[in-house]
């Protein structure tokens, strides 16, 4: 009888644990990790069109492309892992915050010059 009870308990625990594992949220492919993502504009380089008057590329927003089944969709059909994050993350950071970085650098150059002038 004890062996039968242990089998039932083991089977019940197995069923409960497998059910709990199936309810977990699976990791999703995020646009920020895709090589086609243009971070400072939140656009996707796969979808869009060329403006023949100005020569610029008018890209779709990444959010729009992910919501549209005919484009990338929730499953991220066109997702490609960005293997150049060491280059792209600093690039988009500089592109976004260049005015502040310039002011920051100029401030320290000015403070260094003022320190040298006052202490010599």
Asked if 78 and 36 count as a contact pair (C-beta separation under 8 A), the reply is yes
CA angle 87–93–31, rounded 5-degree value: 75
Q: Is 80 left (phi over 0), alpha (psi -120 to 50) or beta?
A: beta
Give domain limits for the chain: 30-83, 85-120
Res. 49: pLDDT tops 90: no
Token digits for 89? 């993350």
> Which position has the higher pLDDT, 77 or 10?
77
What confidence tens digit (pLDDT) does each residue in 2-47 have? Answer: 444 555 555 555 555 554 445 556 568 888 889 889 888 889 989 9
Q: What is the pLDDT of residue 2?
A: 47
**Locus of tokens 């000015």:** 110
Say what the pTM is: 0.55
Q: What is the pLDDT of residue 111?
A: 93
Q: What is the pLDDT of residue 55?
A: 85
pLDDT mean over 63-87: 88
Q: How far apart are CA 31 and CA 43, in angstroms?
A: 9
Residue 45's contacts (CB-CB under 8 Å, 6 or more residues apart) are 36, 37, 38, 57, 59
What separation in angstroms does the CA of 74 have from each of 26, 31, 54?
A: 13, 10, 32
Q: What is the pLDDT of residue 106?
A: 92
pLDDT mean over 61-75: 90
Asked if 61 and 68 count as a contact pair (C-beta separation under 8 A), the reply is no
What confidence tens digit (pLDDT) does each residue in 94-105 have? Answer: 888 888 888 989
Residue 92's contacts (CB-CB under 8 Å, 6 or more residues apart) are 38, 39, 40
């Amino acid at each position: 009888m004890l062996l039968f009870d242990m089998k039932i308990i083991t089977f019940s625990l197995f069923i409960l644990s497998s059910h709990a594992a199936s309810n977990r949220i699976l990791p999703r492919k995020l646009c920020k990790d895709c090589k086609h993502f243009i971070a400072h504009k939140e656009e996707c380089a796969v979808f869009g069109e060329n403006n023949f008057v100005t020569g610029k590329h008018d890209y779709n927003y990444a959010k729009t492309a992910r919501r549209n089944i005919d484009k990338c969709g929730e499953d991220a059909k066109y997702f490609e892992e960005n293997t150049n994050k060491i280059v792209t993350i600093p690039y988009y950071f500089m592109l976004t915050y260049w005015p502040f970085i310039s002011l920051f650098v100029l401030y320290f150059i000015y403070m260094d010059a003022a320190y040298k002038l006052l202490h010599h």
